[in-house]
Structure 1
């Protein structure tokens, strides 16, 4: 099946946006974020969200870590920290000497700033890729919409900083700078590992072999240097961010756990839910087997997406503005095939979802809209109805199944969009013979 002419994106045309126009767009992106946060805070203050601003937040754990660091306890050597090294710096953004409530206020303010910065960088990426003020503004509006869809999640988890590194990488890719893009992903890896999944995209940009080799070296340095002091201090302890997550069981909210969710909803099964590794998980032979297979499924799934990316490498190299479509496919396939799917994981997708909203490819836009819907459904389930979900109540189970099905649909659409990528249309030649 061949793509129709409407599936073929037009090449970015015209000159880059003028400095004044770009500045206005970036200010608009920040202002839209301020409006989104003001709206959310007003809704929480009025008690209209169905849950509290800091319900089931990770900030209690972050405060414990930050207070322990302030007392001289060393990460990994004296304190079992399951996060990579740069996350420890994020925990220190808020003062830990006071109450947990004070820490939460400061931490939430820092995550608002990180989300706003990510929205600004993502808008700049759209302006650089498409040279269109209209598309860049659409991206800014989309990012504000995603903030509203997520509710309190970005305030209580440090994943907004992870999204910021992805936004920076996408901006560098939009201007064909694979080295700083790879460094941004390396820093993201030292925050939460997952950004490494997008490293191959930095090699899709048209560049010399030397530049690509430098990009790979830049990623490795940025990804590994933060680990070095802790490896020298306690090598086994510094490996905890890897070993901890490799041992995790099948999480209740994961897409791979959906068969057991469906079984509980229909009454055909009574799965056993246990608490471990900071989450609620399915226990038993079947869930354990799926959890063991998950890393292999994830590797095969992402490899399959990158096989498509390789076949479309010339198109992506010619039009870096299409790279977010490939990035969305990679992230969604990884999310769907992971044995762990915590609600905050969807925050990582915000930069690529916002950029895909402004894509000329219809399938990419629909995949982005489906991901935004999945984010909204997640907020309806977590944290307001989370303990009802753990108790396997029908309403939350149905909501979770709908969210997971929406994610699968979004992933499939994003993969098909990558498979259908076509070289951008070139402006008609005006030469005469």
Structure 2
């Protein structure tokens, strides 16, 4: 991955576009943040205030350039994740499959993970899940830290066992969030400007809605109309707003389904919090208006956490995620021009990648839903007994 990063000037590796994200965009934001302000009026700044801490972290290594320090910290985070997965996998009734999945799966994204801060974000969510069995409060703190960087790690708390664990984790997350937001507000200017930029996003060409638009326009013989805005190539023109609103409606439906699962689930295993987090992030990813290749880092990480437990229901989902990850790097950076131009090759790549993600999301949620049912023959009394045991640890 490091070798690819140092040779990304080649066309198939993105002609320098991957590493440019750190050396230009992140470094530019770093210059603003170190003067006590968040980027204001910048359409590319669409991240919660916690992202500022990640972008300022290269200052911890003053002997290196910003790019070198950022990549070094990303590699250290990668090593921390691998160590945490390996340690979790050596416990009784656990498996080293999670560590193997992470070590083998992350390089499928080539050099992209080293030039984005999604490895750091994923680390917060993964550590939140892995710590849940030991300390609900620590789990809540890490979930909150991740959510302040990129929101989605809050979903790590969706499957916490009912009772004391849920109260401890959710309370710790709420207190951590409130405390850090108050601190950021006191120390920085315009910490919430990202909300204005996020609301203006359209339909990215790599999203599921983008695939629908590509196929519809190819079938109708109409030219592709795209524009680089909000940090991505997005569709413009007729029906785009309808597709964007449909994506938001599907996201709301996904949230409702997850909430319904939470309310109706009667069975919890040690892997249920892991499985719920993966199912939730998959559902929110496929219904999003944006599915960038680096999003696959999240899914590989959560799938790896699932595979640390022998009780997981998500074992068949992991190969689908790995396949979608491999296709993602064929689509970007190798054949991104084909996708932007909307050629049949680009259509095929996006249909395959997003089709795999949809299959993974449906399979993941279906298996999560079934795992929450009472054991056959246990009956209502048994489910109440199981619930009482969960409440009392």
- The correspondence for 2:18, drawn from 56, 72, 80, is 56
The worse-fitting range, judged by mean Cα deviation, of 77-86 and 218-227 is 77-86
Q: Specify the alignment match of 1:217 in structure 2.
A: 171
Q: Note the C-alpha offset of 1:256.
A: 2.0
- Distance of aligned partners of 1:98 and 1:214 in 2 relative to their CA distance in 1, 3 Å threshold: closer
- Distance of aligned partners of 1:153 and 1:45 in 2 relative to their CA distance in 1, 3 Å threshold: closer
Q: Deviations over 1:122-151 (max 9, x none)?
A: 3344445xx24xx53221111111112121
Report the 3-state secondary structure (helix = DSSP H, G, I; strand = E; otherwise coil) of the residue aligned with 2:58. Answer: coil
Q: Deviations over 1:30-76 (max 9, x none)?
A: xxxxxxxxxx3346668899316953342121111113334x25225
Q: Note the C-alpha offset of 1:207.
A: 3.5
2:271 and 2:312 in contact (8 A); partners too: no
Q: Specify the alignment match of 2:105 in structure 1.
A: 146
- Distance of aligned partners of 1:232 and 1:367 in 2 relative to their CA distance in 1, 3 Å threshold: same
- Normalising by structure 1, report the TM-score: 0.76
Q: Specify the alignment match of 1:94 in structure 2.
A: 58
The worse-fitting range, judged by mean Cα deviation, of 185-194 and 265-274 is 265-274
Report the 3-state secondary structure (helix = DSSP H, G, I; strand = E; otherwise coil) of the residue aligned with 1:174. Answer: coil
The worse-fitting range, judged by mean Cα deviation, of 351-360 and 152-161 is 351-360
Report the 3-state secondary structure (helix = DSSP H, G, I; strand = E; otherwise coil) of the residue aligned with 2:227. Answer: strand
Q: Note the C-alpha offset of 1:359.
A: 5.4
Distance in 2 (CA, whole Å) between partners of 1:49 and 1:225 is 46
- Distance of aligned partners of 1:43 and 1:86 in 2 relative to their CA distance in 1, 3 Å threshold: closer
Q: Note the C-alpha offset of 1:295.
A: 2.9
**Number of residues paired by the alignment?**
371
Q: Specify the alignment match of 1:231 in structure 2.
A: 185
- Distance of aligned partners of 1:145 and 1:53 in 2 relative to their CA distance in 1, 3 Å threshold: farther
- Normalising by structure 2, report the TM-score: 0.84
Q: Note the C-alpha offset of 1:354.
A: 1.2
Distance in 2 (CA, whole Å) between partners of 1:292 and 1:332 is 19
1:291 and 1:339 in contact (8 A); partners too: yes
Q: Deviations over 1:244-274 (max 9, x none)?
A: 2122111111112221122345464434211
Q: Specify the alignment match of 1:17 in structure 2.
A: none
Q: Does 1:279 align with 2:232?
A: yes
- Distance of aligned partners of 1:45 and 1:218 in 2 relative to their CA distance in 1, 3 Å threshold: closer
2:204 and 2:290 in contact (8 A); partners too: yes
- Distance of aligned partners of 1:389 and 1:102 in 2 relative to their CA distance in 1, 3 Å threshold: farther
Report the 3-state secondary structure (helix = DSSP H, G, I; strand = E; otherwise coil) of the residue aligned with 1:201. Answer: coil
2:51 and 2:150 in contact (8 A); partners too: yes
1:54 and 1:152 in contact (8 A); partners too: no
Q: Note the C-alpha offset of 1:110.
A: 1.1
- The correspondence for 1:185, drawn from 102, 126, 143, is 143
Distance in 2 (CA, whole Å) between partners of 1:359 and 1:424 is 19
Q: Specify the alignment match of 2:29 in structure 1.
A: 65
Distance in 2 (CA, whole Å) between partners of 1:372 and 1:238 is 36
The worse-fitting range, judged by mean Cα deviation, of 212-221 and 398-407 is 212-221
2:122 and 2:301 in contact (8 A); partners too: yes
- The correspondence for 2:281, drawn from 313, 318, 331, is 331
Q: Does 1:315 align with 2:272?
A: no
Distance in 2 (CA, whole Å) between partners of 1:393 and 1:146 is 29
1:179 and 1:218 in contact (8 A); partners too: yes
Distance in 2 (CA, whole Å) between partners of 1:197 and 1:410 is 17
- Distance of aligned partners of 1:267 and 1:112 in 2 relative to their CA distance in 1, 3 Å threshold: farther
1:168 and 1:181 in contact (8 A); partners too: yes
1:261 and 1:401 in contact (8 A); partners too: no
Unmatched runs of 5 consecutive residues or more in structure 1: 1-39, 426-433
Q: Note the C-alpha offset of 1:106.
A: 2.1
Distance in 1 (CA, whole Å) between partners of 2:11 and 2:40 is 41
Q: Note the C-alpha offset of 1:286.
A: 1.5
- The correspondence for 2:124, drawn from 165, 168, 179, is 165
The worse-fitting range, judged by mean Cα deviation, of 42-51 and 348-357 is 42-51
